Amino acid sequence: MLLFSIFLMLVGIILIIFATAMYMIGALIFLIGLLLFLSRWWRRLMFLFLGLGMVGLLFSEVPIFLASQGDFDKKAQSLKESPTSSYSYEYVIVPGASVYGRKASPALTERMQAALRLLSANDQSKVVCSGGQGSGEDISEAACMANFFKAQGISPDRIILDDQSSSTKENLENSFALIEKDCGADLTDKKEAPVIVVCSSEYHLFRIRYLAKRLGVQISTYPASTRNILTRINYFLYEVPASFKAFITSCQAPSVSGSYSMV
């Protein structure tokens, strides 16, 4: 049992350090190994806290899972089978994800492919590619997305770039400011605001909906399915602390990014 517990802790540490898409799973494996390693009384106490934490985690996952289905008009779901119908939305926002050099990560590729279905279904809509340039990225996430859409036949005049954002909150703030500049409408006025769809990974949609509501802008969400099941599980787990952090930061001082701030 001692060797097995040490083995589990080592596996967990390796996943946390080297497998960036599985670090939450690695943390759980490490905790299980630690529980097995501890003495009986400490183990019981740790199991109690872990059990309470798991119950809290499950309750926290419910709204994240429900939001992962997207709240865009249900008719839009048929885009997966028939990408030729027309729907009345004017803008599609695609939040960035990692770029490896100049190549889109799987998460970013999935988001772009889902957004392409929306853009193909309505040739009057525009896309806001939102994402700055991070470590290990030779180009910005926005530029990577723009290159993809152009290669797929989307006209450059339908593509709006935000290459400054470095977080989900900034994705929305800067994208809303650019849309407002493009259409001349007040996005907080429901009567004149254009219809905006935010297309992102399914696990990401709850946080997006929450932040958009705090910014006072009405949006719809459209899910990009994550193909790798382990990556999907990892990021559904990650969204619990990420959503909690979004709640805390949205209650603090307003951001100066773009022209929008938390209300």
DSSP codes, the chain? -HHHHHHHHHHHHHHHHH-TTSHHHHHHHHHHHHHHHS-HHHHHHHHHHHHHHHHHHHHHHHHHHHHTT--S-GGGGGGGT-TT------EEEEE---EEBTEEPHHHHHHHHHHHHHHHH-TT-EEEEE----TTBSS-HHHHHHHHHHHTT--GGGEEEE----SHHHHHHHHHHHHHHHH---TT-TTTPPPEEEEEEGGGHHHHHHHHHHHT---EEEEEPP--HHHHHHHHHHHHHHHHHHHHHHTSSPP-STT----
> Are both 15 and 145 inside the same structural domain?
no
Answer with the one of 13, 32, 57 that is the final residue of a domain.
57
Contacts of 51 (CB under 8 A, 6+ apart): none
Same domain? For 51 and 98 the reply is no
pTM for this one? 0.76
Q: Give yes or no for residue 176 having a pLDDT over 60.
A: yes
| Domain housing 51 | 2-57
Q: How confident is the model at residue 254 (pLDDT cuts 50, 70, 90)?
A: very low
Q: What would the pLDDT profile of 61-112 be if each residue is shown by its tens digit?
A: 888 888 888 887 554 555 554 544 455 789 999 999 999 999 999 999 999 9
In a shared domain, residues 110 and 164: yes
Q: Are residues 81 and 143 located together in one domain of the fold?
A: yes
Whether residues 80 and 53 share a domain: the answer is: no
Q: What percent of the chain has pLDDT over 70?
A: 81
Q: How confident is the model at residue 19 (pLDDT cuts 50, 70, 90)?
A: low
Task: Let me know whether 29 and 53 are in one domain.
Answer: yes
* Domains of the chain: total: 2
Q: Quick check: is 256 in a domain?
A: no
Task: State how far the Cα of 186 lies from the Cα of 118, in Å rounded to an integer.
Answer: 23
Domain shared by 140 and 25, yes or no: no
Identify the CATH number of the domain in which residue 82 sits: 3.40.50.620
Residues 84 and 171 in one domain: yes
Asked if residue 63 belongs to a domain, the reply is: no
**Domain C-terminal end among 57, 79, 97:** 57
